[in-house]
Amino acid sequence: MLDLTGKNAFVTGIANNRSIAWGIAQQLHKAGANIGVNYLPDEKGRFKKKVTELVEPLNPSIIVPCDVQDDELLDSMFATIEEKWGKIDILVHCLAFADREDLTGDFSATSRAGFAKALDISSYSLNCLAVRAKPLMKEGGSIVTLSYLGGVKVIPNYNVMGVAKSALEMSVRYLAAELGQDNIRVNAISAGPIRTLASSAVGGILDMIRHVEETAPLRRTVTQTEVGNTAAFLCSDLASGITGQVIYVDSGYEIMGM
C-alpha cells in the first residue's frame, strides 16, 4: 500500500551513514521514489565525496551542493530540480546546526550571533526550502522536517537548539495552514535521540540515549530506519489527511512523566 513509485523525493541533510536523512532516503527509495540529495559544500569537498559514494546504490538523479544560509545555492538547487524533474512531490528537511559551545552549559550564555545562526540554519531554512518547493509541487506534495522533544520540554544542554526546534515546529503549523490549499502537507517527526554527527555536539548525548533506554515504554531508542519508515508513511497517500502535525518516533518516551 505504501507506494511512492513515480514520485520525486528530494532529501536534504545527508552527511554520512549515521544521518537520519540517510535512513529516510533509503526508505523513500525502497518505496519506489526517485531520489535527489544535497551535500553541504566544504573547502576540501569531503561531504561531496562521502555523500556521492554513500547514495550511489539509490541511483540519485540529483546530487547538488547547498548551504541553506546561501540564497544563491538554494536558488540553483531548485533550478536543478526543476530542470531535471519538472516537478517535486516530496521534500525532506533534515538538517540543523548550532555552535558546539551553545550546546552545553548555561542557555543564558548563548551569544546573539550563536542564537541567530542556530535559528537561521535549523528553523528558517524550512521556510527557504518550502517557498522554493511550492511552485514545483504542481500536483501537491509532502514536506517533512525533523524535530526533537527539546523543542517543547527542557532537555539539559539542548539549549538554543530547543528554541530552534520550537520555532521549527511552529513554522510547520504556519506553513501547513498556508500551503494546504495547494494540497501540500507539512509535518514534523520528533525523533528520539540517535548517535549522529549533529547529536554528538550536544553535551551528554550518550546519557540522553541511556536514559531513554531505561525509561521509554519500548525500553530502547529508535533507529534511522524507523524514522525513515514514518517519513515514507507521511509522504505517501496513506497520510493524505495529515498535515501540521508533530509525530513522535521516540519509543514512546514523550508520554512519560517520570
Q: Which of 27, 25, 31, 19 is nearest to 61 (CA)?
A: 25
Strand partners, 184: 141
Active-site residue 39, yes or no? no
Which parts of 201-240 interact with ligand NAD (CB under 6 A)?
Answer: none
Question: Does the annotation flag 186 for ligand binding?
Answer: no
Amino acid (one-letter) located at 155? I
Q: Read out DSSP for 206-233?
A: HHHHHHHHHHSTTSS---HHHHHHHHHH
Helices (H) and strands (E) in the chain, counts: 8, 7
| Angstrom distance (rounded) from CA 72 to CA 75 | 5
Nearer to ligand NAD, 88 or 198 (CB): 198
β partners of residue 147: 190
The answer to the question of whether 196 is labelled as a binding residue is yes
Q: Was 35 annotated as part of a binding site?
A: no
Grid coordinates representing 137 are 509541487
Name which position in 9, 191, 231, 234 contacts ligand NAD (CB under 6 A).
191
Q: Cβ of residue 130: shortest distance to ligand NAD, in angstroms? A: 15
With H, G, I as helix, E, B as strand and everything else as coil, classify residue 29. helix
Closer Cβ to ligand NAD, 99 or 182, answer by number: 99
Does 87 appear as a known binding residue? Answer: no
**Residues 211, 198: contact at Cβ < 8 Å?**
no
CA distance 52 to 48: 6
* C-alpha distances in Å from residue 54, one per residue of 46, 51, 202, 203: 12, 5, 25, 28
Closer by beta carbon to ligand NAD, 67 or else 102: 67
Query: Was 243 annotated as part of a binding site?
Result: no
Contacts of 238 (CB under 8 A, 6+ apart): 1, 2
Judged by CB, which is closer to ligand NAD: 40, or 88? 40
Applying CB under 6 A, which of residues 197, 218, 238, 256 lies at the interface with ligand NAD? 197
Q: How far is the CB of 218 from ligand NAD (least distance, A)?
A: 16
Interface mask (CB under 6 A) for ligand NAD, residues 112-151, using x and -? ---------x------------------------xxx---
Per-residue binding string, ligand NAD, 68-97, x by CB under 6 A, is: xx------------------------xxxx
Q: Which residue numbers belong to the known binding site for NAD(+)?
A: 13, 19-20, 67-68, 95, 165, 194-198
The binding site for ligand NAD (CB under 6 A) comprises: 13-15, 18-21, 40, 66-69, 94-97, 121, 146-148, 191, 193-194, 196-199
Active site residue ranges: 148, 158
Q: Which residue numbers belong to the known binding site?
A: 13, 19-20, 67-68, 95, 98, 165, 194-198
